């Protein structure tokens, strides 16, 4: 686990190699072994100094975050931080020079371990990242990071890194003074040892006589002003939903004017209360672990050989088709982009050209890389070009007859045995599958716009989709670097059905006479990326209108249109304000600005009594979770985790809540059900909680534990 070797020059090399994990983490066993190794070196009079490095491609990825889920008590979490803080302090003051030879990524506790060394030297690699990303997990650096980093590089430079969790390339870390040197990988150990042999001192800047924090202490007027601005910005950005960044600022403010031992004790106190919050639990469980599992296809059907993909066909070169073609070409796949019109097919390729050119301009890609990626895209109108494709994805107009024709013509060109996927966002998959000769090989792959930015692909299993087809479609999604969530066929699938409730509820509130500015502010304060009316404008009201018309035609009298239908009809049929793409919807879009349309006041007279912001927030979040719970009950999603991941990646459900179903546990099932029942009575039956929730009331069982 920790290799210990002393070389002929009297340098002890302590090498991290934690077994059973692709990364080194500071779990209990590894930390104990590390401390024992350093103690051995300290006790050996023949050892002049210590070099710490790793045998893995990364240095150390930080604490093992699973440990933070095991003990959720404030006292336990605080004690863990205090223990590691004391031991790092003991080692840095033990009198022998210690060098961190950072061979790869060093994050969180990994960087904190390095900060407690006297010299930090890193191997030059474009992949390496250096940083304290704890805040993104809802916690804070608990191994001295909030104290050593500002003492090393100054409060002004350290605070943004701490509150944003920035992961720096080595060159930037060097420039900021976090690293002392960056050298070619082959020279790393040699240079690390050379620093010790050249008389490198076992001394930290903060232990020097007369030490002052570079750029000033937090109490100094300039620094104080800087911190006030940061605090105000953090409050504005987090709307009270995330305690971690504010607690990090408290650690810096309170800890910096005391000796470091006091500072790290302050840090441990804040670490305990922060890591014990439900937000931290949600960000670790859903935001990190569940997303990782989804990305890694941890629930892929077993026993199906992994599918390889070389050539892909994309039907339809509109916004979605050209985005999908870009993602495929970027992942190294030969991509046939087919449209009815040659000019359209060509235009689809231009989309990739624009994105790739932007990457070159930003230095993220070289010209050769751009050319090679573009060369993989073949725009065409000829179905014969699809011969040899391993998968074809249909992204033509949302019209059954057009989709059917594209499906038939593809089958003629490719034969029936390849995977065929539809990117429909509205039409049930099982019906579309009837047009493919082998419906067992037909599946839904619902991409999100803009495809190059959105990580989620909703994978829709039709009634006849085989397990082999599902497993291989998942392989494809992973192959192009996206994250899949599997859902079962149903109207609107999962994401569109649940997400729609958010903006529909916004419109319902508007129709009740609630001030639109209040609705929008409340939406943003929940942590959703946009207010519900702004979202409706982005989605486009004519599209929502079309779906209502189509569903009414499909289902007949059994269909209950959403509560927002009259508002949508007014905007589309009478006002011609269909949303952002038309420059007018609930907002006016002029000069790159978004302003609520003043005409709203005339069409939706203000109610005399306005609700408080808390109750509007509650309505906007509860409605999504109650609909998601119905999807769980109906088997549209198969687990609370799938629902959470889809909501985090698909429509930006607030991460502090852990996703759309973790939100129920965050509130507490009993309280959530009681509030929904009250809303069902006062607002409408759409809030009525399904049995899957009601039967948990009073049992103390979380939905997560009871979910299917």
- Residue from 49, 141, 316, 428 that binds ligand 3H9 (CB under 6 A)? 141
How far apart (Å, rounded) are the C-alpha atoms in residues 447 and 650? 9
Contact call for residues 124 and 111 (beta carbons, < 8 A): no
CA distance from start to end of the chain: 38
How far apart (Å, rounded) are the C-alpha atoms in residues 495 and 624? 10
- Residue from 66, 73, 610, 615 that binds ligand 3H9 (CB under 6 A)? 66
- Residue from 142, 287, 462, 659 that binds ligand 3H9 (CB under 6 A)? 142
Strands across the sheet with 181-183, in order? 2-6, 11-16, 49-54, 98-102, 119-123, 181-183
Window contacting ligand 3H9 (CB under 6 A); options: 22-30, 151-159, 240-248, 412-420? 22-30
Window contacting ligand 3H9 (CB under 6 A); options: 15-23, 539-547, 592-600, 699-707? 15-23
Is 296 or 708 the residue whose CB approaches ligand 3H9 more closely?
Answer: 296
Is 18 or 429 the residue whose CB approaches ligand 3H9 more closely?
Answer: 18
- Residue from 14, 47, 52, 61 that binds ligand 3H9 (CB under 6 A)? 61
Query: Within a 13 Å sphere around the CA of 38, how many CA atoms are in the beta-carbon half?
Result: 27
Window contacting ligand 3H9 (CB under 6 A); options: 18-26, 213-221, 470-478, 573-581? 18-26
The two structure tokens encoding residue 349: 């390729």
Q: What's the Cα-to-Cα distance from 175 to each of 102, 168, 549, rounded to whole Å?
A: 16, 10, 59
Window contacting ligand 3H9 (CB under 6 A); options: 61-69, 354-362, 549-557, 622-630? 61-69
One DSSP character per residue, 423-434 reads --SSS-HHHHHT
Cβ contacts of 492 within 8 Å, gap of 6 or more: 426, 500, 547
Q: What is residue 404's three-state secondary structure?
A: helix
The distance of closest approach from Cβ of residue 74 to ligand 3H9 in the complex, given in angstroms and rounded to an integer, is 13
Q: What's the Cα-to-Cα distance from 597 to each of 381, 584, 586, 600, 601, rounded to whole Å?
A: 43, 8, 6, 6, 8
* 699 is a site residue for ligand 3H9 (CB under 6 A): no
- Residue from 2, 14, 25, 532 that binds ligand 3H9 (CB under 6 A)? 25
Is 20 or 210 the residue whose CB approaches ligand 3H9 more closely?
Answer: 20
* 78 is a site residue for ligand 3H9 (CB under 6 A): no
The two structure tokens encoding residue 408: 């038939």
How far apart (Å, rounded) are the C-alpha atoms in residues 154 and 152? 6
The distance of closest approach from Cβ of residue 480 to ligand 3H9 in the complex, given in angstroms and rounded to an integer, is 16
Four-point Cα dihedral 424, 428, 429, 431, nearest 10: -120
Q: Cβ of 439: how many Cβ atoms within 10 Å?
A: 21
The distance of closest approach from Cβ of residue 8 to ligand 3H9 in the complex, given in angstroms and rounded to an integer, is 33
* 150 is a site residue for ligand 3H9 (CB under 6 A): no
* 504 is a site residue for ligand 3H9 (CB under 6 A): no
* 127 is a site residue for ligand 3H9 (CB under 6 A): no
Strands 167-168 and 483-488: unpaired
- Residue from 78, 92, 134, 627 that binds ligand 3H9 (CB under 6 A)? 134
* 22 is a site residue for ligand 3H9 (CB under 6 A): yes
Is 296 or 671 the residue whose CB approaches ligand 3H9 more closely?
Answer: 296
* 173 is a site residue for ligand 3H9 (CB under 6 A): no
Window contacting ligand 3H9 (CB under 6 A); options: 100-108, 512-520, 534-542, 550-558? 100-108
Q: Cβ of 340: how many Cβ atoms within 10 Å?
A: 14
The distance of closest approach from Cβ of residue 2 to ligand 3H9 in the complex, given in angstroms and rounded to an integer, is 17
Annotate 145-162 with three-state secondary structure.
HHHHHHHHHCHHHHHHHH
- Residue from 47, 63, 168, 244 that binds ligand 3H9 (CB under 6 A)? 63
The distance of closest approach from Cβ of residue 481 to ligand 3H9 in the complex, given in angstroms and rounded to an integer, is 11
Is 291 or 636 the residue whose CB approaches ligand 3H9 more closely?
Answer: 291
* 659 is a site residue for ligand 3H9 (CB under 6 A): no
Is 292 or 449 the residue whose CB approaches ligand 3H9 more closely?
Answer: 292
How far apart (Å, rounded) are the C-alpha atoms in residues 140 and 234? 15
Beta strands in 125-209 (DSSP E): 130-131, 167-168, 181-183
Q: Cβ of 158: how many Cβ atoms within 10 Å?
A: 27
Is 294 or 469 the residue whose CB approaches ligand 3H9 more closely?
Answer: 294
How far apart (Å, rounded) are the C-alpha atoms in residues 316 and 111? 48
* Residues identified as active-site: 446
Window contacting ligand 3H9 (CB under 6 A); options: 78-86, 190-198, 429-437, 571-579? 78-86
- Residue from 14, 64, 252, 536 that binds ligand 3H9 (CB under 6 A)? 64
* 657 is a site residue for ligand 3H9 (CB under 6 A): no
* 647 is a site residue for ligand 3H9 (CB under 6 A): no
Q: What is the helix (H) or strand (E) element at residue 646, kind and residue range?
A: helix 640-651
The distance of closest approach from Cβ of residue 207 to ligand 3H9 in the complex, given in angstroms and rounded to an integer, is 22
Burial of 347 (0-12, 13-18, 19+ CB in 10 A): middle
* 267 is a site residue for ligand 3H9 (CB under 6 A): no
Longest dimension (CA), the chain: 88
* 113 is a site residue for ligand 3H9 (CB under 6 A): no
DSSP class of 299: T
- Residue from 108, 150, 200, 348 that binds ligand 3H9 (CB under 6 A)? 108
> According to CB under 6 A, which residues from 278 to 297 bind ligand 3H9?
292, 296
* 112 is a site residue for ligand 3H9 (CB under 6 A): yes
Contact call for residues 476 and 508 (beta carbons, < 8 A): no
How far apart (Å, rounded) are the C-alpha atoms in residues 468 and 307? 10
The distance of closest approach from Cβ of residue 79 to ligand 3H9 in the complex, given in angstroms and rounded to an integer, is 10
Window contacting ligand 3H9 (CB under 6 A); options: 91-99, 139-147, 398-406, 445-453? 139-147
Buried b (16+ CB within 10 A) or exposed e, 456-478: bbbbbbbebbbebbbbbbbbbbb
Is 107 or 192 the residue whose CB approaches ligand 3H9 more closely?
Answer: 107
The contact set with ligand 3H9 (CB under 6 A) reads: 21-23, 25, 58, 61-66, 80-81, 84, 105, 107-109, 112, 133-134, 137, 141-143, 145, 292, 296
């Amino acid at each position: 686990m920790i290799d210990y070797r002393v070389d002929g020059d009297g340098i002890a090399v302590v090498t991290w190699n934690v077994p059973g994990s692709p990364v080194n983490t500071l779990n209990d066993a590894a930390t104990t072994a590390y401390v024992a190794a350093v103690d051995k070196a300290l006790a050996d009079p023949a050892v002049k100094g210590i070099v710490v490095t790793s045998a893995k491609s990364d240095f150390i990825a930080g604490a093992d975050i699973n440990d933070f889920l095991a003990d959720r008590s404030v006292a336990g979490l605080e004690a863990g931080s205090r223990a590691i803080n004391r031991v790092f302090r003991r080692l840095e003051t033990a009198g022998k020079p210690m060098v961190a030879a950072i061979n790869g990524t060093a994050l969180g506790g990994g960087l904190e371990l390095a900060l407690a060394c006297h010299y930090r030297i890193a191997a030059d690699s474009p992949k390496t990242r250096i940083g304290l990303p704890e805040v993104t997990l809802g916690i804070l650096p608990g191994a001295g990071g909030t104290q050593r980093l500002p003492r090393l590089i100054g409060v002004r430079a350290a605070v943004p890194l701490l509150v944003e969790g920035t992961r720096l390339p080595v060159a930037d870390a060097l420039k900021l003074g976090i690293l002392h040197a960056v050298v070619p990988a082959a020279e790393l150990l040699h240079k690390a040892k050379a620093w010790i042999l050249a008389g490198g001192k076992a001394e930290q800047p903060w232990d020097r006589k007369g030490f002052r924090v570079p750029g000033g202490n937090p109490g100094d007027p300039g620094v104080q002003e800087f911190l006030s601005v940061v605090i105000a910005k953090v409050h504005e950005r987090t709307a009270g939903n995330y305690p971690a960044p504010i607690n990090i600022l408290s650690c810096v403010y309170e800890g910096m004017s005391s000796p470091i031992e006091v500072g790290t004790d302050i840090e441990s106190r804040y670490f305990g209360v922060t890591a014990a919050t439900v937000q931290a639990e949600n960000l670790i469980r859903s935001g990190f672990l569940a997303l990782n599992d989804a990305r890694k296809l941890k629930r892929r059907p077993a026993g199906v050989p992994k599918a390889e993909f070389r050539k892909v066909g994309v039907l339809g070169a509109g916004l979605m088709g050209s985005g999908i073609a870009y993602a495929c070409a970027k992942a190294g796949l030969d991509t046939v982009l087919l449209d009815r019109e040659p000019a359209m097919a060509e235009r689809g390729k231009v989309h990739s050209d624009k994105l790739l050119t932007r990457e070159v301009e930003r230095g993220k890609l070289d010209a050769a890389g751009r050319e090679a990626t573009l060369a993989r895209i073949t725009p065409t109108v000829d179905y014969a070009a699809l011969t040899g494709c391993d998968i074809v994805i249909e992204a033509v107009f949302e019209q059954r007859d057009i989709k059917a024709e594209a499906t038939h013509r593809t089958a003629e060109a490719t034969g029936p045995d390849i995977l065929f996927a539809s990117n429909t966002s509205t039409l049930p998959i099982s019906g579309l599958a009837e047009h493919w000769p082998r419906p067992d090989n037909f599946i839904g792959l619902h991409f999100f716009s803009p495809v190059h930015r959105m990580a989620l692909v909703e994978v829709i299993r039709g009634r006849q989709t085989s397990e082999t087809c599902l497993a291989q479609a998942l392989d494809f999604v992973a192959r192009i670097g996206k994250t899949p969530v599997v859902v079962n066929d149903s109207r609107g699938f999962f994401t569109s059905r649940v997400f729609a409730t958010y903006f529909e509820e916004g419109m319902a509130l508007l129709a009740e006479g609630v001030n639109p500015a209040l609705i929008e502010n409340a939406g943003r304060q929940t942590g959703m990326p946009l207010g519900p009316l702004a979202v409706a404008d982005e989605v486009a009201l004519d599209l929502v209108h079309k779906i209502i018309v189509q569903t009414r035609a499909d289902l007949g009298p059994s269909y209950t249109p959403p509560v927002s239908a009259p508002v949508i009809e007014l905007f589309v049929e009478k006002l011609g304000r269909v949303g952002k793409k038309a420059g007018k919807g609930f907002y006016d879009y002029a000069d790159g600005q978004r302003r609520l349309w003043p005409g709203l006041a005339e069409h939706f007279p203000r109610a005399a009594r306005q609700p408080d912001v808390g109750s509007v927030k509650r309505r906007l979040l509860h409605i999504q979770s109650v609909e998601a719970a119905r999807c769980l009950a109906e088997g549209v999603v198969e687990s609370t985790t799938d629902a959470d991941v889809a909501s985090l990646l698909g429509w930006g459900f607030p991460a502090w809540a852990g996703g759309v179903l973790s939100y129920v546990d965050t509130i507490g099932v009993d309280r959530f059900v009681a509030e929904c029942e009250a809303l069902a009575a006062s607002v409408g039956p759409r809030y009525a909680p399904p049995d899957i929730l009601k039967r948990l009331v009073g049992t103390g069982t979380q939905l997560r534990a009871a979910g299917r």
